[in-house]
Amino acid sequence: MMCRRFLGYWLVNQDLMTNLSISIMNKAEVIGTVITAVHISQ
């Protein structure tokens, strides 16, 4: 029982970590695009 709970917790955490990584990567991409656009416009 304890093992199943731990596994469920771990799976949820994996999901959160994946979503977090994706959102961080998306933000980095947006910031990179903005910085590039600013450099080009100057």
CA angle 36, 40, 42 (to 5 degrees): 120
The overall average pLDDT reported for the chain is 90
**Residue 37 per-residue DSSP state:** H
pLDDT band at 1 (very low <50, low <70, confident <90, very high): low
pLDDT at 21: 93
Residue whose structure tokens are 């080009």: 40
Q: How many whole angstroms separate alpha carbon 37 and alpha carbon 10?
A: 40
Measured in whole angstroms, how far is the alpha carbon of residue 23 from the centre of its chain? 4
Report the half-sphere exposure of 40 (CA within 13 A, side-chain side). 6
CA angle 11, 20, 6 (to 5 degrees): 20
